Amino acid sequence: MKLYPTHNLEYYNTQFVGGIQETILSNGQSLYHPWWTTGGGNEYRTDFIDYIRSTGKSYQHAYEWCCGHGVIGFEILTQGISQTIAFSDYYDLAVNSCLDNANRLERSNDVFGYITETLSVIPENQKWDLIVGNPPNNPADDIRTEEGIKAGHSQDMIDLGLRIVIDPDWQAHRDFFHHIENHLLPNADLFLTVHQNYIPLIDEMAKEGSSLVYQGFRDITGDLSLKIAHWRSL
Protein backbone atom coordinates (compact mmCIF):
# COMPACT_ATOMS: atom_id res chain seq x y z
CA MET A 1 0.00 0.00 0.00
CA LYS A 2 1.50 3.31 -1.09
CA LEU A 3 0.67 5.88 1.56
CA TYR A 4 2.65 8.88 0.46
CA PRO A 5 1.93 9.79 -3.17
CA THR A 6 3.77 12.74 -4.62
CA HIS A 7 1.11 15.31 -5.23
CA ASN A 8 1.65 18.31 -7.36
CA LEU A 9 -0.23 21.46 -6.47
CA GLU A 10 -0.80 22.56 -10.05
CA TYR A 11 -2.01 19.08 -11.04
CA TYR A 12 -4.59 18.99 -8.27
CA ASN A 13 -5.75 22.53 -8.93
CA THR A 14 -6.54 21.66 -12.51
CA GLN A 15 -7.71 18.07 -12.01
CA PHE A 16 -9.97 18.27 -9.00
CA VAL A 17 -12.85 20.38 -7.88
CA GLY A 18 -11.81 22.20 -4.76
CA GLY A 19 -8.27 23.37 -5.38
CA ILE A 20 -7.25 25.85 -2.72
CA GLN A 21 -9.70 26.02 0.18
CA GLU A 22 -10.28 28.82 2.67
CA THR A 23 -10.85 27.87 6.30
CA ILE A 24 -12.03 30.75 8.48
CA LEU A 25 -10.77 30.70 12.06
CA SER A 26 -12.94 31.70 15.03
CA ASN A 27 -11.24 35.10 15.16
CA GLY A 28 -12.17 35.78 11.50
CA GLN A 29 -8.69 35.24 10.08
CA SER A 30 -8.35 32.83 7.16
CA LEU A 31 -6.15 29.82 6.41
CA TYR A 32 -5.58 29.01 2.75
CA HIS A 33 -4.58 25.43 1.97
CA PRO A 34 -5.06 22.65 -0.59
CA TRP A 35 -8.40 21.05 0.29
CA TRP A 36 -6.78 17.60 0.50
CA THR A 37 -4.79 18.68 3.57
CA THR A 38 -7.99 18.58 5.64
CA GLY A 39 -9.26 15.49 7.42
CA GLY A 40 -12.03 16.39 9.85
CA GLY A 41 -10.32 19.08 11.92
CA ASN A 42 -12.64 21.83 10.67
CA GLU A 43 -15.59 19.89 12.09
CA TYR A 44 -13.86 18.75 15.32
CA ARG A 45 -12.04 21.93 16.33
CA THR A 46 -14.80 23.38 18.54
CA ASP A 47 -14.99 20.16 20.55
CA PHE A 48 -11.18 20.16 20.91
CA ILE A 49 -11.10 23.76 22.10
CA ASP A 50 -13.97 23.24 24.58
CA TYR A 51 -12.25 20.14 26.02
CA ILE A 52 -8.86 21.91 26.28
CA ARG A 53 -10.45 24.94 27.95
CA SER A 54 -12.12 22.64 30.49
CA THR A 55 -8.69 22.02 32.06
CA GLY A 56 -8.70 25.68 33.12
CA LYS A 57 -5.00 25.90 32.25
CA SER A 58 -3.08 28.17 29.91
CA TYR A 59 -0.18 26.74 27.95
CA GLN A 60 3.24 27.89 26.76
CA HIS A 61 4.12 25.55 23.91
CA ALA A 62 1.66 23.45 21.91
CA TYR A 63 2.19 20.80 19.23
CA GLU A 64 -0.19 19.40 16.61
CA TRP A 65 0.73 15.90 15.43
CA CYS A 66 -0.61 14.85 11.99
CA CYS A 67 -1.42 18.50 11.49
CA GLY A 68 -2.73 18.59 7.92
CA HIS A 69 -3.73 22.24 7.37
CA GLY A 70 -3.28 22.86 11.11
CA VAL A 71 -6.71 24.20 11.93
CA ILE A 72 -6.75 22.86 15.51
CA GLY A 73 -3.29 24.30 16.20
CA PHE A 74 -4.11 27.65 14.64
CA GLU A 75 -7.27 27.89 16.77
CA ILE A 76 -5.13 27.18 19.86
CA LEU A 77 -2.62 29.86 18.85
CA THR A 78 -5.03 32.56 17.69
CA GLN A 79 -7.35 32.09 20.69
CA GLY A 80 -4.35 32.64 22.98
CA ILE A 81 -4.55 29.18 24.58
CA SER A 82 -0.82 28.68 23.89
CA GLN A 83 2.03 31.07 23.10
CA THR A 84 3.58 28.91 20.35
CA ILE A 85 2.56 25.99 18.13
CA ALA A 86 4.67 23.33 16.42
CA PHE A 87 3.21 21.35 13.52
CA SER A 88 4.28 18.01 12.06
CA ASP A 89 3.00 15.84 9.23
CA TYR A 90 4.80 13.62 6.74
CA TYR A 91 2.95 15.37 3.93
CA ASP A 92 5.09 18.30 2.84
CA LEU A 93 2.20 20.33 1.42
CA ALA A 94 0.44 20.18 4.78
CA VAL A 95 3.36 21.52 6.82
CA ASN A 96 4.30 24.05 4.15
CA SER A 97 0.77 25.43 4.05
CA CYS A 98 0.88 25.82 7.87
CA LEU A 99 4.15 27.76 7.57
CA ASP A 100 2.78 29.89 4.69
CA ASN A 101 -0.32 30.74 6.73
CA ALA A 102 1.79 31.59 9.79
CA ASN A 103 3.79 33.96 7.61
CA ARG A 104 0.68 35.59 6.16
CA LEU A 105 -0.85 35.99 9.65
CA GLU A 106 2.47 37.47 10.87
CA ARG A 107 2.91 34.71 13.47
CA SER A 108 6.07 33.13 11.98
CA ASN A 109 8.01 33.65 15.22
CA ASP A 110 5.48 31.54 17.11
CA VAL A 111 5.07 28.70 14.61
CA PHE A 112 7.40 25.74 13.92
CA GLY A 113 7.00 23.05 11.27
CA TYR A 114 8.48 19.58 10.79
CA ILE A 115 7.93 17.46 7.68
CA THR A 116 8.40 13.99 9.11
CA GLU A 117 6.72 10.66 9.76
CA THR A 118 8.63 10.20 13.02
CA LEU A 119 9.01 12.29 16.13
CA SER A 120 12.55 10.93 16.48
CA VAL A 121 13.86 13.69 14.18
CA ILE A 122 12.25 16.55 16.09
CA PRO A 123 14.94 18.17 18.29
CA GLU A 124 14.61 17.10 21.92
CA ASN A 125 14.82 20.70 23.09
CA GLN A 126 11.34 21.10 21.60
CA LYS A 127 9.13 20.55 24.66
CA TRP A 128 5.37 20.97 24.83
CA ASP A 129 2.73 21.27 27.53
CA LEU A 130 -0.23 20.87 25.15
CA ILE A 131 -0.37 18.27 22.39
CA VAL A 132 -3.26 17.68 20.03
CA GLY A 133 -3.80 15.39 17.07
CA ASN A 134 -6.38 14.06 14.67
CA PRO A 135 -4.32 11.19 13.20
CA PRO A 136 -5.44 8.47 10.79
CA ASN A 137 -7.59 6.30 13.05
CA ASN A 138 -7.82 2.90 11.33
CA PRO A 139 -5.08 0.23 11.21
CA ALA A 140 -6.07 -1.21 7.79
CA ASP A 141 -8.76 -0.74 5.22
CA ASP A 142 -8.78 -2.76 2.02
CA ILE A 143 -12.47 -2.02 1.43
CA ARG A 144 -11.78 1.60 0.60
CA THR A 145 -9.21 0.55 -1.99
CA GLU A 146 -11.64 -1.93 -3.56
CA GLU A 147 -14.48 0.60 -3.59
CA GLY A 148 -12.22 3.26 -5.08
CA ILE A 149 -11.13 0.96 -7.89
CA LYS A 150 -14.76 0.00 -8.59
CA ALA A 151 -15.75 3.67 -8.66
CA GLY A 152 -13.03 4.30 -11.25
CA HIS A 153 -10.89 6.55 -9.01
CA SER A 154 -7.22 6.96 -9.93
CA GLN A 155 -4.65 5.21 -7.71
CA ASP A 156 -3.35 8.65 -6.64
CA MET A 157 -6.81 9.61 -5.44
CA ILE A 158 -7.20 6.33 -3.56
CA ASP A 159 -3.77 6.79 -1.93
CA LEU A 160 -4.75 10.28 -0.94
CA GLY A 161 -7.76 9.00 1.00
CA LEU A 162 -5.70 6.24 2.64
CA ARG A 163 -3.10 8.74 3.85
CA ILE A 164 -5.81 10.56 5.77
CA VAL A 165 -7.59 7.59 7.35
CA ILE A 166 -5.15 4.65 7.60
CA ASP A 167 -2.25 4.16 10.00
CA PRO A 168 -0.95 0.76 8.84
CA ASP A 169 -0.62 -1.57 11.86
CA TRP A 170 -0.63 1.54 14.10
CA GLN A 171 2.98 2.30 13.09
CA ALA A 172 2.56 6.08 13.38
CA HIS A 173 0.81 5.81 16.75
CA ARG A 174 3.53 3.50 18.09
CA ASP A 175 6.24 5.89 16.91
CA PHE A 176 4.40 8.83 18.48
CA PHE A 177 4.11 7.19 21.91
CA HIS A 178 7.64 5.82 21.71
CA HIS A 179 9.15 9.31 21.34
CA ILE A 180 6.69 11.68 23.00
CA GLU A 181 8.16 11.39 26.52
CA ASN A 182 11.27 13.38 25.57
CA HIS A 183 9.10 16.28 24.45
CA LEU A 184 6.78 16.55 27.44
CA LEU A 185 6.86 19.47 29.82
CA PRO A 186 5.64 18.64 33.36
CA ASN A 187 1.86 18.42 33.69
CA ALA A 188 1.34 18.31 29.92
CA ASP A 189 -2.06 17.53 28.37
CA LEU A 190 -2.57 15.36 25.29
CA PHE A 191 -5.85 15.30 23.32
CA LEU A 192 -6.21 12.85 20.41
CA THR A 193 -9.10 11.67 18.28
CA VAL A 194 -9.60 7.92 18.74
CA HIS A 195 -12.43 5.55 17.79
CA GLN A 196 -14.07 4.55 21.05
CA ASN A 197 -13.32 0.83 20.61
CA TYR A 198 -9.62 1.53 20.15
CA ILE A 199 -9.13 3.68 23.27
CA PRO A 200 -7.88 0.72 25.43
CA LEU A 201 -5.41 -0.29 22.67
CA ILE A 202 -4.09 3.24 22.22
CA ASP A 203 -3.83 3.63 26.00
CA GLU A 204 -1.66 0.49 26.10
CA MET A 205 0.72 2.19 23.65
CA ALA A 206 0.69 5.32 25.81
CA LYS A 207 1.58 3.29 28.92
CA GLU A 208 4.34 1.37 27.15
CA GLY A 209 6.12 4.42 25.81
CA SER A 210 5.44 7.27 28.21
CA SER A 211 4.35 8.53 31.60
CA LEU A 212 1.02 9.68 30.15
CA VAL A 213 -2.04 8.75 32.22
CA TYR A 214 -5.45 8.36 30.58
CA GLN A 215 -8.01 10.85 31.89
CA GLY A 216 -11.18 10.07 29.88
CA PHE A 217 -12.85 11.07 26.65
CA ARG A 218 -15.51 13.35 25.21
CA ASP A 219 -17.89 12.94 22.29
CA ILE A 220 -17.39 14.70 19.00
CA THR A 221 -20.52 16.50 17.85
CA GLY A 222 -22.13 14.65 14.94
CA ASP A 223 -19.83 11.61 15.07
CA LEU A 224 -21.05 8.54 16.90
CA SER A 225 -17.82 6.54 17.25
CA LEU A 226 -14.94 9.03 17.08
CA LYS A 227 -14.01 10.56 20.45
CA ILE A 228 -11.43 12.99 21.78
CA ALA A 229 -9.35 11.11 24.34
CA HIS A 230 -7.31 12.91 27.02
CA TRP A 231 -4.02 11.94 28.70
CA ARG A 232 -1.93 13.89 31.18
CA SER A 233 1.75 13.51 32.03
CA LEU A 234 3.05 13.25 35.58
Ligand X SMILES: C[S@@+](CC[C@H](N)C(=O)[O-])C[C@H]1O[C@@H](n2cnc3c(N)ncnc32)[C@H](O)[C@@H]1O
Residues within the interface to ligand X (CB under 6 A): 38-41, 66-68, 72, 89-91, 94, 117, 134-136, 163-164, 167, 172
Between 143 and 152, whose beta carbon lies closer to ligand X?
Answer: 143
β-strand pairing of 30-34 with 20-24 = antiparallel
CB of 42 to ligand X, least distance (A): 6
Between 129 and 167, whose beta carbon lies closer to ligand X?
Answer: 167
CB of 185 to ligand X, least distance (A): 22
Which residues have C-beta within 8 Å of that of residue 133, sequence separation ≥ 6? 64, 65, 66, 176, 191, 192, 193
Secondary structure percentages of the chain, helix, strand, coil, to 5: 45, 30, 30
CB of 128 to ligand X, least distance (A): 16
CB of 193 to ligand X, least distance (A): 8
Q: Give whole-number Cα distances, 138 to 51, 63, 165, 173, in Å.
A: 23, 22, 6, 11
Between 41 and 113, whose beta carbon lies closer to ligand X?
Answer: 41
State how far the Cα of 13 lies from the Cα of 5, in Å rounded to an integer: 16
CB of 217 to ligand X, least distance (A): 17
Between 72 and 131, whose beta carbon lies closer to ligand X?
Answer: 72
Which residues have C-beta within 8 Å of that of residue 21, sequence separation ≥ 6? 32, 33, 34, 35, 38, 69
Between 33 and 61, whose beta carbon lies closer to ligand X?
Answer: 33
